[in-house]
């Protein structure tokens, strides 16, 4: 992936369009118009065209998410609740990674090998740091969660849903929403 200012601007514009409309609906012409560039000049930066831009956008986004989640966990105390709060707050401050659309729609247009690569990156970025934190908490006897993968996926999925709640005009502060979500996960629904 080229690392110059112009290419980063191209990726920023492409990321916004792909997030809003999906891979199939976006054309190079759309990306060029968003940048006041001729779409043909985008091939200079991305010789493979839209597919290359999409893959680079997703790779950059997932690498940023992995670094952000890892930093949130590292910056919190060893308390799992504090780590989940930090991760939840970081995730809610970012544009959501719509994994359902990525898996069901966007990957159909990019090819099986590329889809598998993105799936691996998403797994490493979103799941692995949380699985490690949950594993440490389980080893310390703080939680009894049997399936760490499922716990990580459930948490990420719930935070993605919070993005939708936020967009629907919910008045509850997002920090409070995240705290309540974490309390629900940690304490369960059953009375003790």
* 169 has pLDDT over 60: yes
Structure tokens at 45: 């930066």
As to burial, measured by CB atoms within 10 angstroms (0-12 exposed, 13-18 middle, 19+ buried), residue 123 is middle
Q: In the chain, what are the domains? A: 51-187 (1.10.357.10)
pLDDT one-digit tens code per residue, 48-63: 999 999 999 999 999 9
Which position has the token pair 């940690």? 186
Mean pLDDT of the chain: 89
Q: How far apart are the first and last CA of the chain?
A: 53
Between CA 64 and CA 161, with CA 121 as vertex, the angle to 5 degrees is 70
Which position has the token pair 């956008």? 57
pLDDT one-digit tens code per residue, 133-142: 999 999 999 9
Name the pTM for this structure. Answer: 0.85
| Average pLDDT estimate for 72-84 | 95
């Amino acid at each position: 992936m080229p690392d110059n200012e112009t290419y980063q601007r191209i990726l920023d514009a492409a990321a916004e369009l792909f997030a809003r409309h999906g891979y199939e609906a976006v054309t190079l012409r759309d990306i060029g118009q968003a940048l006041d560039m001729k779409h043909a000049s985008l091939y200079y930066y991305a010789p493979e065209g839209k597919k290359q831009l999409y893959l680079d956008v997703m790779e950059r986004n997932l690498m940023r998410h992995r670094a952000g989640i890892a930093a949130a966990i590292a910056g919190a105390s060893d308390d799992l609740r504090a780590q989940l709060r930090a991760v939840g707050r970081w995730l809610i401050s970012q544009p959501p990674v719509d994994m359902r659309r990525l898996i069901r729609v966007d990957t159909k247009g990019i090819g099986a090998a590329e889809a598998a690569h993105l799936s691996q990156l998403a797994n490493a970025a979103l799941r692995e740091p949380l699985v490690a934190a949950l594993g440490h908490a389980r080893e310390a006897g703080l939680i009894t969660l049997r399936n760490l993968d499922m716990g990580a996926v459930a948490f990420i999925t719930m935070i993605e849903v919070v993005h939708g709640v936020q967009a629907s005009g919910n008045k509850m502060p997002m920090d409070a929403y995240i705290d309540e979500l974490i309390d629900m996960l940690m304490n369960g629904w059953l009375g003790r």
